[in-house]
Structure 1
Amino acid sequence: MDSFSTTIFSIPTSLFAPAFVALLISLFITRRLLLHSRRKQNYPPIAGTIFHTLFNLHRFSEYQTSLSKKYKTFRILTPFGNYIYTVDPANVEYILKTNFANYGKGDLTYEVMSDLLGDGIFAVDGEKWRQQRKIASFEFSTKMLRDYSSQVFRNSAMRLTEIISDLASSNQVMDIQDLMMKSSMDSIFKIGFGVELGVLSGLEKGKAFSKAFDEASCQILYRYFDIFWKVKRFLNIGLEATMKKNLQLIDDFVYMVIDRKTKQMTEQGQDMDKVAREVRSATKLQEKKVKIDDFGNYLTEEVISSMQYLHAAVTETLRLYPAVPIDVKCCFSDDTLPDGFDINRGDMVNYQPYPMGRMEFLWGDDADEFRPERWLDNDGIFMPESPFKFTAFQAGPRVCLGKEFAYRQIKIVAATLLYFFKFEMWDSRRDVKCRTMMTLQIDGGLHLCAMHR
């Protein structure tokens, strides 16, 4: 990934960094003088400045985790305000539920995200958000969508299994992250638009769309730390020039899908073998051989719901590798968090699902370990945790409406793949690192080999 210094026009960092530091110090001192006559405030400890973040942006999630192990709540200084980060569940509950009205997306997040997400539910507050939330809530609650989506997920899992079966038979390496992303994209477009996208089958336009969306997602995150991004967008230079091209490709692709749908309407774990054993038991296929095409028929809603260990394994995966590693809110008025730290109006307040999954004070000494059993009681029944401790799906009024939808897809795909295959790292010596972007991805993909069971 390009370093931040290559994005600020073509000027070396060494030329503008001293001036920027001087500006930062000047603003900070001025701020202190203006606040001198006010009551003494208890701000979160300073863990660094925006420069520290920029220098560690290539390893952002790991960097935030290391700071969070030192401070449960801390702040990063920027020229225009504080970036507050917390892993304290009491703070998370306060931000997402207790004082929900005081923490929203805010103007900065809307400016940063609207090029990609428009006025969608992930970028807006107020009446726009409430209206979209109400419509989406109704759609996700219908039995028709549940039944239809389950069938789509089963069909997509079967196609994915057939592709992996061919790769396993020829002992070829696979990027399982890429395959899963394509499978998910096919499923979501089928459910949302009723069209066959064919990305998993190799449709070039779909592959280009996926790549463009990932790159745009990276740039969206960079904008939070790049004070010059608006200038570069106006001048159409650097990563913002690439962003413009990607946005055009994304728009063209989405409108193509909408046109296709319009035309249609007009014309008409740690021990993952344990998961495999549970699948065989739940589907009553312990000894019986079944073809890939027929396996989906055994994955009924009752069977999927009965697999407690699979649900625990999926949840444990999301604890350590949440889809959104860090989520930001804007503080609309001066406030005090439950841990006693004061927050100023305009501060960007971040709760952190990725670091939270690695906090020993939340999960014990084995917080870094993948252990699905932590979610099961003595009878092997899944026991949920507070959503303000396990924050992979947010919580409170903005809790993810697609939570059960996502669980259903993951469990169907995981049950199918682990019934037919065992997986190993293609190169066990390779370090797996996260890519810095809005959603969590493995940098360079996850390369595995599959073996038939």
Structure 2
Amino acid sequence: MGILEYPLISLIILCITYWYFKNKCTKSSSVPTNWPLVGMLPGIIQNAHRVHEYLTSILLETGYNFEFHGPVFANMNMLFTCDPANIHHILSRSFSNYPKGPEFREIFDILGNGIFNVDSELWEIQRKTTMSLMNHAKFQTLLERNAWDTIVKGLVPILDTFAEQDILFDLQDIFQRFTFDTISKLLLDHDPKSLSINLTHVPCEKAFNDAVDAVLYRHVLPKCYWKLHKWLQVGKEKNLMKACEAFDQFLYAVMSKKHEKLMNNDIKEEDHDFDLLTDYVKAYNQCTNGDNASKLSSVQEFLRDTFLNLMFAGRDTTSTTLTWFFWLLAKNPLVEKKIREEIQQQLHLKEDENLKSLFDIEETRKLVYLHGAFCEALRLFPPVAINHKAPAELDVLPSGHRVSPNTKILLSFYTMGRMEALWGKDCLEFKPERWISEQGGIKHEPSYKFPAFNAGPRTCLGKEMTFIQMKRVAATIIYNYQIQIEEAQTISPTATVVIRMTNGLKARVVKRASL
């Protein structure tokens, strides 16, 4: 029996063939073809390896809003937007109507009941606790001590060794190790020593990359597809499961040791009245009162989720920004020269003096041009390149789009940094000057225009902490060394929620004293 004896199959084949040849002859735009049955999914899959650039070209062509039609019965219809008015509406003005929701928590199930995943009272308690801790004077002291200790005992010795031996290394890997060690010491009072001369393999540190690699695919592929992969334990879902195991093994072991130290009163005298683990246990007890009791399991799981969320924030965003920042500097040597001159002037260094001593928070605020350069890196390569939202109730966006609770909305922060309407015709250029006011201070932009740290009530709590840490790392490297980026390499952002460099950043380092 021939295929033509099946009328439905024949009709489908004829329709697809017609659509294919029609679009092949007329296609000149970036907008994917809306095929029968499968919708626009083939276009997304074809460009999955460059999804951020692809979505940017679509959004710029369609006027900042694009309605994606998924396969029939897959419940994958989505609205992609980079419209600042929509961003402001969703993240700020109508915040209460755009909770994380069950679908977000399912996609990011690895984060459990941490601050990034929960809503309402659970989120408010965790945010209030985290803000209180971060504003504590002892936290600021601990942050300064741990960050500078990791720079002096971890980062500098490695760069010195690489410089002496003229080694080609992955700068992105070094920054990931640096931020992982720093955040582990800060939150857990544990140094995993991944930033050692022999670059020890630490499973938990590498698991972060596997985790974020899988999450974006859950956004743009049918749920049944990635759930099948999860059930079969194959592909990116297999890697995600291994990452989850690595996180659990690391966190539960470290928390157990920390709890034992607390029970034995084996803690430093200066930290006796301040301990993050103890304070989050108090937050757990507060969370389990009343209606929230059924939403949480054990205190150990709550602490695991809490610390994992904070480690994601402290490790990935900072290391990603530092990597893109030094690549942009290598392409703009004049900017690097101006930063070096600013460091020397503001920190009162002599011509041939190395930057070796800790400079305080007030001194970091004097590095205005360096701050502007980091804002440019964040504008062009926001660490969290895309955000997922869905309304709790029917809503109409400022763009006129009607969105229901079944509508998945993806906010493209990556695209926003490439919009002429927001940043001018030079939007693709790396210009720290755009962040400096006429009076010589930092020029602040509204978060719905510059959402690198999110916007509205969920704005990143560690924004200032991140800038302080990045400035110290950058100042130490720029003033004491010269990073030479290997020319024979392809640089592109990963197709992930947190955009790293796909193949890392190969570089050599030279001590400035030897130049």
**TM value normalised by structure 2:** 0.75
SS of the residue 2:108 aligns to: helix
Aligned pair partner of 2:130 in 136, 143, 164: 136
Structure 1 residue 61 corresponds to structure 2 residue 52: yes
Structure 1 residue 106 corresponds to structure 2 residue 106: no
Retained in 2: the 8 A contact 1:190–1:196? yes
Matches of 1:204 and 1:421, distance apart in 2: 20
Cα displacement string for residues 158-198 of structure 1 (whole angstroms, at most 9, x for unaligned residues): 22122112212222112111101100011101110111121
Instruction: Give the aligned partner of residue 387 of structure 1.
Output: 447
The aligned runs of 1:163-174 (5 Å cut-off) are 163-174=158-169
Structure 1 residue 285 corresponds to structure 2 residue 349: yes
Retained in 2: the 8 A contact 1:195–1:260? no
- Cα distance change on mapping 1:203 and 1:421 into 2, 3 Å: closer
For structure 1, which segment, 52-61 or 225-234, has the greater mean C-alpha deviation from structure 2 after superposition? 225-234
Retained in 2: the 8 A contact 1:47–1:67? no
Percent identity, aligned pairs only, is 31
Aligned pair partner of 1:74 in 46, 66, 72: 66
For residue 259 of structure 1, report the CA deviation from its aligned partner: 2.1
SS of the residue 2:68 aligns to: strand
Aligned pair partner of 1:235 in 223, 232, 235: 232
Matches of 2:139 and 2:147, distance apart in 1: 12
For residue 213 of structure 1, report the CA deviation from its aligned partner: 2.2
Q: Which runs of 4+ in 1 moved over 6 A?
A: 202-205
Q: Which runs of 5+ in 1 are unaligned?
A: 1-17, 26-44
- Cα distance change on mapping 1:441 and 1:343 into 2, 3 Å: same
- Cα distance change on mapping 1:339 and 1:133 into 2, 3 Å: same
For residue 348 of structure 1, report the CA deviation from its aligned partner: 1.3
For structure 1, which segment, 247-256 or 308-317, has the greater mean C-alpha deviation from structure 2 after superposition? 247-256
The aligned runs of 1:110-125 (5 Å cut-off) are 110-114=105-109, 116-125=110-119
Structure 1 residue 251 corresponds to structure 2 residue 245: no
Retained in 2: the 8 A contact 1:96–1:103? yes
Structure 1 residue 157 corresponds to structure 2 residue 130: no
Instruction: Give the aligned partner of residue 296 of structure 1.
Output: 357
Retained in 1: the 8 A contact 2:376–2:430? yes
Retained in 1: the 8 A contact 2:210–2:240? yes
Cα displacement string for residues 289-319 of structure 1 (whole angstroms, at most 9, x for unaligned residues): 24x6xx233x112211111111111111111
Structure 1 residue 316 corresponds to structure 2 residue 376: yes
- Cα distance change on mapping 1:191 and 1:47 into 2, 3 Å: farther
Matches of 2:457 and 2:41, distance apart in 1: 31
Retained in 2: the 8 A contact 1:150–1:408? no
Matches of 1:419 and 1:202, distance apart in 2: 22
Q: Which runs of 5+ in 2 are unaligned?
A: 1-7, 16-30, 35-39, 267-328
For residue 367 of structure 1, report the CA deviation from its aligned partner: 0.7
Retained in 2: the 8 A contact 1:375–1:383? yes
Instruction: Give the aligned partner of residue 310 of structure 2.
Output: none
AA paired with 1:392?
A
For residue 438 of structure 1, report the CA deviation from its aligned partner: 2.2
Matches of 2:107 and 2:61, distance apart in 1: 29
Retained in 2: the 8 A contact 1:69–1:359? yes
For residue 246 of structure 1, report the CA deviation from its aligned partner: 2.5
Which of structures 1 and 2 has the larger relative contact order (alpha carbons within 8 angstroms, sep 6+)? Answer: 1
Instruction: Give the aligned partner of residue 141 of structure 2.
Output: 147
Q: How many residues align?
A: 410
Structure 1 residue 448 corresponds to structure 2 residue 507: yes
Matches of 1:403 and 1:355, distance apart in 2: 21
SS of the residue 1:441 aligns to: coil
Structure 1 residue 365 corresponds to structure 2 residue 425: yes
Matches of 1:111 and 1:243, distance apart in 2: 13
